[in-house]
Amino acid sequence: IEGHAKISVYLDDAGEVEDARFHVVEFRGFEKFCEGRPMWEMAGITARICGICPVSHLLASAKTGDKIQAVQIPPAGEKLRRMMNLGQITQSHALSFFHLSSPDFLLGWDSDPAKRNVFGLIAADPDLARSGIRLRQFGQKVIELLGAKKIHPAWSIPGGV
Tens digit of each residue's pLDDT (9 = 90 or more) over 67-83 = 999 999 999 999 999 99
Per-residue model confidence (pLDDT) at position 143: 94
Tens digit of each residue's pLDDT (9 = 90 or more) over 33-42 = 889 999 888 8
**Pair 34, 23: CB distance under 8 Å:** no
Q: Distance between CA atoms of 34 and 41, rounded to whole angstroms?
A: 9
pTM equals 0.78
Q: Where are the domains of the chain?
A: 38-147
Segment (H or E) for 32: helix 30-34
Q: Distance between CA atoms of 159 and 84, rounded to whole angstroms?
A: 16
Distances (CA, A) of 24 to 27, 102, 117: 8, 26, 26
Per-residue model confidence (pLDDT) at position 160: 84
Q: Which long-range contacts (CB under 8 A, 24 or more apart) does 3-11 make?
A: 3/28
**Pair 87, 139: CB distance under 8 Å:** yes
Tens digit of each residue's pLDDT (9 = 90 or more) over 121-159 = 999 999 999 999 999 999 999 999 999 888 888 788 888
